[in-house]
Amino acid sequence: MIKGTLLIVDDNKSVNSALEMMLQYEVQKVITITSPKRIHEILDQTEIDIVLLDMNFQAGINLGNEGLFWMKEILKHDNDISVVMITAYGDVELAVKAIREGAVDFVLKPWDNEKLLATINAAWKLRSSRHEAHILKNDNQFLKKEIKRSEERIVLGASPTMINVMNIVRKVAGTNANILITGENGTGKELVAREIHNLSERSNELMISVDMGSITESLFESEMFGHVKGAFTDAKDDRAGKFEIAQKGTLFLDEIGNLSSQSQSKLLSALQNRYIVRVGSNKQIPVDIRLICATNSRLSDRVSEGLFREDLLYRINTIQIEVPPLRDRVDDIPVLAFHFLKIYSEKYNKHNKKISTQALEKLSNYYWPGNVRELQHSIEKAVILSDSSVLNPSDFSLAASTKGLIDSNSTTLEEMEKKLIGESIKKYDNNLSIVASKLGITRQTLYNKLKKYDL
């Protein structure tokens, strides 16, 4: 039996009844309509695989234009649908024209049952192969992007604090233990995750990164577990979720603290059961992934506040790795600065760029609220704007001075961060895009901090 849906469109009720009676045992689902004006409605509500479409719908008119029109409308909706035209013997030339314009075959009235079944089976096979090719094309584009990212050189630093982090990384990489990486925004948590992956037995497979803060609750299941075509209005194709794509490799969930309680429950269920179910399907798909999560928030505090599930925290937190902020590893600033200088000098074709000693001193004395990401953006901006072969202190317009922070009455890191954000908002006239860029953080992170500090 064909495990798909067949739509029959013919204004002759007797034809529809005869076809439905014959095909109901050959096709999983058969839908019949007498008016082509309902085609759009059916396509929007149901995943259709094959359409048997009459060439003519107006009595006494045999031009076939109406059938050609509706065939094109069907293919506009989904070009992978197999359309088989139904026509009288005298309209064979019209049917051939329909094939040239997108139909896969035609059936003559009165039809031969065996030939009709053979035509429908061939149409189903074509539909399936088109569908699979489309999925593979999308997946391959995604995989190529991920492979390119995984090949980037990883530079974390060589300060004592980072050497300690790397010692832990090497110890845990060879295991399948779930890892939770913590640290401020921009400290390089994803780079640490990628290093764990590269040193693991799964290094020949993919590491798939997912920003949990960018996934809305309504899309969580579809993004993470995938969906089948027709599962919801915009589900025009089958789609593998991040769990399936990361099969045998590593799944990195960044900013996991942003997950809603409902999404936390779904994630926990998948981790405990070791299988996922695509939206719109009942099929259980086993998953084999190495899980690494990251967050810039204190999950233990969120558990106490009832915002994060304690059982999920235990599940993802077999080993915790704290990535220190850049201000606590000043020795890494020159190493990272030269690394980013090399990258952006090559990218923007400005070779032989150097950084002066005075500029390095300025960078080393800065507080770096945006951490490594802010340093990276600062180097990129300096390379782009500087016409000199040497980057000087004047090439780096940093958001605020270290001295201003130290001399303030702020006593905690959060107070200093709040002060810096407030001063930046005032300095840049409430332009949040510029503020986020200057601080080296995303707009969403800035919004979260504004809400946190009631600014």
Q: Per-block average pLDDT, block size 10, for the chain (455 residues)?
A: 90 90 90 92 91 75 71 90 83 79 88 89 86 63 54 68 92 95 93 94 92 88 92 84 93 93 95 94 92 94 92 95 92 93 92 92 91 93 93 84 46 77 80 78 81 82
Q: Which of 298, 300, 296, 202 is nearest to 251 (CA)?
A: 202
Task: Looking at the structure, tell me whether residues 172 and 287 fall in a common domain.
Answer: yes
Are 77 and 204 within one domain? no
**Are residues 228 and 315 located together in one domain of the fold?**
yes
Q: Which of 322, 356, 375 is the last residue of a domain?
A: 322
The model's pTM: 0.59
pLDDT score at 407: 47
Q: For residue 142, is it within any domain?
A: no
Q: What is the pLDDT of residue 420?
A: 85
Domain boundary among 302, 322, 342: 322
Domain boundary among 322, 354, 385: 322
Question: Would 59 be classed as within a structural domain?
Answer: yes
* CATH code of 35's domain: 3.40.50.2300
The answer to whether residues 313 and 358 belong to one domain is no
Q: Residue 384's domain spans which residues?
A: 327-453
pLDDT at 278: 94
Residue 129: both structure tokens together: 């192969």
Q: What is the reported pLDDT for 59?
A: 46
The set of residues, in sequence order, having a beta carbon less than 8 Å from that of 126 and lying 6+ positions away, is: 82, 104
Examine the domain organization and report whether 116 and 254 are in the same domain.
no
Please check whether residue 259 lies inside any domain of the structure.
yes
Please tell me whether residues 318 and 331 are part of one structural domain: no
208: domain CATH number is: 3.40.50.300
Within-domain flag for 122: yes
Q: Are residues 109 and 248 in the same domain?
A: no
Number of structural domains (the chain) is 3
pLDDT confidence of residue 61: 45
Q: Is residue 207 located within the same domain as residue 120?
A: no
Specify whether 183 is located in the same domain as 309.
Answer: yes
Decide if 8 is inside a domain.
yes
228 with 243, same domain: the answer is: yes
**Residue 290 maps to a domain:** yes
Residues 293 and 346 in one domain: no
**For residue 197, which amino acid is it?**
H
CATH code for the domain of 403:
1.10.8.60
432 domain residue, yes or no: yes
- Tell whether 303 is covered by a domain: yes
Give me the residue label for tokens 């067949």. 6
Handedness of CA 28, 33, 37, 42 (dihedral sign): negative
